[in-house]
A and B are shown apart, each in its own frame.
Chain A
């Protein structure tokens, strides 16, 4: 597969691995947080960990849009489908996120809710056109990458007079989440979580550019290397982070120059700004209420805002007590630190959201890496 295989080349990987091993100072440990679930997935799926020396440790971040969606928001979506009898259009990953009362979108669907999986925001708008007698609500989730398409369909619905379409917006913002982690007591005061640098988002950065990260590098003195989602991108970014740490630098560097510019995608940013505005605060699973960390539709688009249209009250529902998703999303705990990991909580019967999405830290470790935890049961032949 052209333009993809090149970024998964095993020989190049071994070359970078050798350089990381040579340049990493054996007297210290390097802790790098990969913010994005896309990176978490790539690290697990391609076995990147096996190519890193033991003193280079990757800490999983909260950049998985499904994982950070709190129980309350899923409950609200289910209510739209079950009580308001709306057609709820959603990306597939959200289907299995556990909600209150043992429900999930998938289980609500089995109970008669009309929930349709879509691959894009425009598919949701098409559903509305095809079902003029029904209310169609798009459960919009995601970081800055998926926000422009949502903005686009809202404008298109307005321009073409689609009156039965609205958006339940759950779009969240990357920089606020990074700031929240860096401000957390575990990182700032207690020192229980060490973060020496960040592997910065790939797709998000194609939209917002590399500039928004300057603040973190400057204010918190943490190096950030923006990296693509291919495993060689991740390896290269890790090497660049090791070098910054060794040289005492804390800069924003861009490994993903084939797609990311300093200013990002101006057109997409303008589009988002025309439809969305900041929420004063938004509840994240694991991080709690994070100020100015999410978007909602501006007043002029209120007719397309499901929360206003259906007068949906905000729901706050605590996570199940045994679930450590919160601590895992902040990098405080590893999936295996959670008591229910791999026992009660598995991809088939997830308790927490991190076990649902393939980008979630728990799902990635369970699916690709749990052989590492197994006691060497039986010799390998």
Chain B
């Protein structure tokens, strides 16, 4: 009698194994990767159906769809990793429509040779983030590229949600006189990432602020249903986000530098790197624009939520055909806060 058990498949070696080309081939190896890694971590009824798509119930209302690809380097950083970031990023993009995120999809592009142990850490982190956010990952896709053709792991996530009843939020809705709020200190994520970049390693206690903001958004739109604009100031930071909104809405803005919260550690890191914290990325902050009369209620709603305790009113929307974002400096002068040009390049002397 043969000692081979019927139907036995040796489990994935999640300690020493690596991604190989067969994991993206559509064959048994891929099915095993999906079963033992992705399904095990993300487990939910829709995913378990194992179709190439998910059939999900949708409540009535306006549908919101957002997609975001994640290529962060390094993959693990203080305060998070590409896994939770890929959940938070898309949950936030959906939420910034004044919406409740309902479902996520996940597409993985893996590089041949990437350690399965690290992939598991990333997938577990994604699963935890999705669970905490209450937004299930209902379908997905996996591809593998040859060594040298990727950077370990790229993750695309798409999110679907539905707009809260009676809420109409858009980047085009800002009006002169409106108040501009931020939900907390600027620049944490970017500085945390930069502290690990090649040639730049410096010790810091700053962790990424990566977080899912839909709870904060719900608290805000419940208190102030007339919120005009919501956006998360990710790449390009607050400065770029405000310039985008100014152009979309056809308005200008005036900021007060002294009112913009920036942690001293972030300010110090930016100082020696020659960066401006207003251009550094955030992953757990939002910008809200509300009618000036709604500003106190909006501020109270943000501050009443754990992710908005350090919220602040930082400026106001003004009429300006040039759509300039200007700032009263803490020094007592005035300057523009322009679009980011190229990458934010440090000064050299």
Contacts and interface: CB of A to CB of B under 8 A. Distances in A.
Interface residues of A, number: 56
Interface stretch (A138-146, A150-158, A314-322): A138-146
A96 B335 CA distance: 24
A371 B331 contact: no
Given A1-B268, A45-B335, A371-B336, A10 B349 contact: no
Nearest to B250: A378
Contacts, number: 124
B320 A377 contact: yes
B60 interface: no
Interface stretch (B10-18, B81-89, B106-114, B339-347): B339-347
Given A123-B199, A380-B320, A10 B330 contact: yes
Interface in B285-319: 316-319
Interface in B174-189: 176-177
A50 B336 contact: no
A118 B199 contact: yes
A366 B338 CA distance: 9
Contact of B332 (A51, A141, A381): A51
B252 A367 contact: no
A378 B321 contact: yes
Contacts of B343: 92
Contacts of B192: none
B338 A367 contact: yes
A370 B268 CA distance: 28
Q: Which of B258, B321, B329, B333 has the most CB of A within 10 A?
A: B333
B324 interface: yes
A358 B343 CA distance: 12
B333 A51 contact: yes
A380 B199 contact: no
A368 B271 contact: no
A1 B177 contact: no
Contacts of B131: none
B281 to A, nearest CB: 17
Contacts of A8: 330-331
Nearest to A127: B199
A348 interface: yes
Contacts of A41: 347
A371 B333 contact: no
7 contacts: A46-B331, A367-B336, A378-B322, A380-B254, A380-B318, A381-B176, A381-B177
Closest 8 CB pairs of A and B: A47-B333, A347-B341, A377-B321, A381-B176, A50-B333, A378-B321, A46-B331, A368-B335
